[in-house]
Amino acid sequence: MLIRHKLVILFLISSGILLMLFSVYIYIASSTSRTNIFLERIKQKALDTREIYELHDRVAEKVIISLPEQSEYVFDEHGKEIFGINDVGDYAFDESFFKSLPVGKEIYFSFQGNQPQNYKEGYAFSFDQDGKKRTIAITAYNKSGFDQMESLAQNLVAGNLFFLIAAAIAAFTFSSLLFRPINDLVHEVETIEAHDLKFRLSYQNPKNEIGIVAGAFNRVLDRVQSLMDSQKSFISYASHELRTPLAAIAGILETSINYDKDKDAMSESLKAAQHEIQRATILVNGLLQLAKIESATEREEMVRLNIIDLLLDVISFYKLKNPLQEFAFDMPEPSQGNYIEVNGFPQFLRTAFVNLIDNASKYSFHKKINIKLTNQDNKIKISVIDKGIGIDDDGEHQLFDVFYRGKNVAGIDGFGLGLPFTQKIIALHGGEIRLIPNESSGMTAEVILPAIIEKAS
């Protein structure tokens, strides 16, 4: 069942219940009012009968009867009827009735008349006349009152049915109008083709529910498109870049098979092939890391890291691979607060700083690397300073493009993946990276990250 149909049904059910409760209230209030008015009328007639009886005006008997099936009685102290007017015998005045009516008391009562549809009501009271108890009782059928109540009930039922029908028509009409934008969105979604990743839902008001849903759907499409683009880029990068080392390996092995005549020549060919395989492995690992960082968006996986400990760990790791590489580490004085932490992915940040240090070492031909740490305004700046070949002026704006390598790095191993990978890692942590040429020689890579700075105790 469609939601709009459910809403219409729930609206009609709730409206029907409210109408029924209101109608019952109106009917009960009207019935109570009818009963009170009618009883007041027969009470007044009973009082008039007393006056007539006390004056012994027997002519007035014909005038007193003015209500449907009205009967009037006067009884003595023994409950014997002194006289009666229009006695139809539909109520038995027994001994218990008179015992319940001492002098000065009055009662209202009701009973079923001779006709099944006639529900009669009565009034009786006792009074003292010359030291003797007298009881006057009047019964009557409130035909006009019951007719009015029946008419009211019919009108309430008819009115409720009419209102529910009108409400149903209005509810279906308004629900169709209100859900038309959703139907339009559904129609738009159904027209999406599998290859059309640029499709986005259109909506007018971004602040209403339709706009919020459409906006959320469009954001999902943005993420899907981004993932698909990353996948296409990965396939494109892999197929393009792996072609070179694979072709080199194939060429080396083919040459070795055809021309290597001795063990030494074959050994050299195998070493060359092994080198190309290692390059291909490094390339594949770099591409996999790049794809992994592009999909790493779950910030709840981040942990608090001491940035100084992290950098010392990176330096120690790098020196295991390159024992001759020298470092100078400049960190804040303890009084300035050297307990500096960041929220981040430990492995990603280690990889980013290893990449920067590896570039600094490789392009400076293993000269000393300066690492400087400064903090200001809840941000931490890590500067990796080298004295290498610096930045190629022509390619300064392409350094973070995947597979780009400057003209001045020819002959130095690399694939152009390190800086793009590092930039994505820093961006994932809410930071930024800048490459700044040094005045004399070399380059400074500045990484700025949001920091949690705690004063040293």
Amino acid 442: pLDDT: 87
For residue range 218-234, list pLDDT tens digits in order. 788 787 777 777 677 66
Q: What is the CATH number of the domain that holds 269?
A: 1.10.287.130
In this structure, the answer to whether residues 15 and 90 fall within a common structural domain is yes
Total structural domains within the chain: 3
Percent of the chain with pLDDT over 70: 82
Structure tokens at 434: 């800048």
Does residue 184 belong to any structural domain of this protein? no
Express each pLDDT in 315-364 by its tens digit.
998 888 888 899 998 887 654 545 678 888 888 888 889 889 988 898 88
Helix (H) or strand (E) holding 366: none
* Mean pLDDT value across the chain: 81
Q: With contact defined as beta carbons under 8 Å apart, do 426 and 433 qualify?
A: yes
Q: Say if residue 387 is in the same domain as residue 405.
A: yes
Domain extent, residue 24, equals 3-147
At residue 405, the pLDDT reads 67
The answer to whether position 426 is within a domain reads yes
216 plus 283 within the same structural domain: yes
In a domain, 239, yes or no: yes
CA distances in angstroms from 52 to 49, 75, 322, listed in the order given: 5, 14, 132
> Strand 379-385's sheet: what is its strand order?
327-330, 369-376, 379-385, 443-450, 432-437
Instruction: State the angle between helix axes of 307-321 and 346-363 in degrees (0 to 180), rounded to the nearest 10.
Output: 50
User: Last residue of some domain: 107, 127, 147?
Assistant: 147
The confidence score (pLDDT) of residue 122 equals 92
Q: Domain containing 354 — which CATH number?
A: 3.30.565.10
> The domain that contains 136 carries what CATH number?
3.30.450
CA dihedral 381, 384, 389, 392 (to 10 degrees): -30
Residue 394 has pLDDT above 70, yes or no: no
Q: Is residue 132 part of a domain?
A: yes
Question: Does residue 192 fall inside a structural domain?
Answer: no
Based on the fold, state whether residues 326 and 339 are members of the same structural domain. Answer: yes
Instruction: Kindly state whether residues 31 and 118 are assigned to the same domain.
Output: yes
> Do the domain assignments include residue 231?
yes
- Same-domain pairing of 286 and 305: no
pLDDT of residue 339: 63
- For position 25, what pLDDT does the model report? 93
Q: Which residues contact 40 (CB under 8 A, 6 or more apart)?
A: none
Paired sense of beta strands 369-376 and 327-330, if any: parallel
* pLDDT tens column, 149-175: 889 999 999 999 999 999 889 888 888
Residue 316 pairs in a beta bridge with none
Domain boundary among 252, 268, 295: 295
**CB 381: neighbour CB atoms within 10 A?**
16
Mean pLDDT of 129-152: 89
Token match 């000393």: residue? 368
Question: Does residue 251 lie in a domain region?
Answer: yes
Distance CA 356, CA 315 (A): 11
Token pair of 301 as six digits: 């996986």
pTM tops 0.85, yes or no:
no
> In this predicted model, what pLDDT tens digit does every residue of 53-103 receive, in sequence order?
776 544 344 445 578 888 888 898 888 988 888 888 888 889 899 999 999
Domain check: are 289 and 382 in the same one? no
- Residue 447 inside a domain? The answer is yes
Q: Which of the listed residues 100, 115, 147 is the one where a domain comes to its end?
A: 147
Question: 95 and 10: one domain?
Answer: yes
Does residue 392 have a pLDDT over 80?
no
Give me the pLDDT at residue 3, please. Answer: 73
**Does 322 lie in the same domain as 288?**
no
